[in-house]
Amino acid sequence: MIPERELYREARRIFRKLLGEDRSLVRMPNGKYLVYRGQRPEHSRSLVAQEFVAGFRVRDWLAALGTVPESFRLSEAGAAWLRRCEADGDPYRAQHQIRSRRDVVDAHGIERTVVFDDAESPLARLFARKLIDAAQRDAGERLRRDYTIAQLSPRMGVDLGQPLMPGTRGAKPEALPADTVLAAKQRFAAAMKAVGPVLSDLLFDICCAMVGLEDAERQFGWPSRAGKAVLAIALDRLALHYGLIVAAPARGRMRSWRME
């Protein structure tokens, strides 16, 4: 029987390689298993012994793909276990997050490294599923940044986190300068105008209101998966406006939108 510590160490090593939709663990003729990326095998250092795979399966960390030769993918339980093992702070909170570190420039022009929860953003989830590319994701995130700095999101209630002082209404201690907010509003308005009607509505829902693509399709009354093509065109126009690409890819032209 494999000691748990050794099993967990091997699980962390292999599961990191199995993250991604095109990764699988395939049984080899010698009985061992090898990590594949699509149809291409990984380096031989990705080999894992049969007894470890059996231990992973007992814990429901692998899901069978039903192929011959036998192959598995990382299950939701296995991915959640890996996130807990590598989490800082609260591991059970981290298992529902997709954390990444990025260098960003804040509203005051200061560059710093921050931790993002990519599971929070519909754009990040679409990028992780390879439904949009990096330029499209960055364009959408830049639009959301300007929307946030411009303070355009509605306030749904009282901010209970602010201290109450006699004779005051709990003003924000670090309010952004008025010219910073105004500049963000102007950039946001220019970007939405450049994208055009209907497309800008979809971008607002996905990038700013954080609505999932499937929910947005239902709101617009579009058939399933139609939103993917429309969103790609909208993000291409947005990336072109921001200068992230020099020419929009040939994804098919949108001739017109008509409503009875």
pLDDT in tens, 75-94: 888 888 888 887 654 444 54
**Rounded distance between C-alpha atoms, residue 248 and residue 233, angstroms:** 8
Kindly give, in sequence order, each residue whose CB lies less than 8 Å from that of residue 100, ignoring residues fewer than 6 positions away: 115, 116, 118
**What distance in Å separates the CA atoms of residue 71 and residue 55, rounded to the nearest whole number?**
15
Residue 98: phi, psi to the nearest 5? -125, 95
DSSP state of 1: -
Give per-residue pLDDT as tens, 197-250.
Answer: 989 999 999 999 988 888 899 899 988 778 899 999 999 999 999 999 887 776
- What contacts 53, CB < 8 A, 6 or more positions away? 25, 33, 62, 72
pLDDT at 247: 79
Q: Is 110 exposed, middle or buried (0-12, 13-18, 19+ CB in 10 A)?
A: exposed
139 in Cβ contact with 244 (< 8 Å): yes
Predicted local confidence at residue 260, as pLDDT: 46
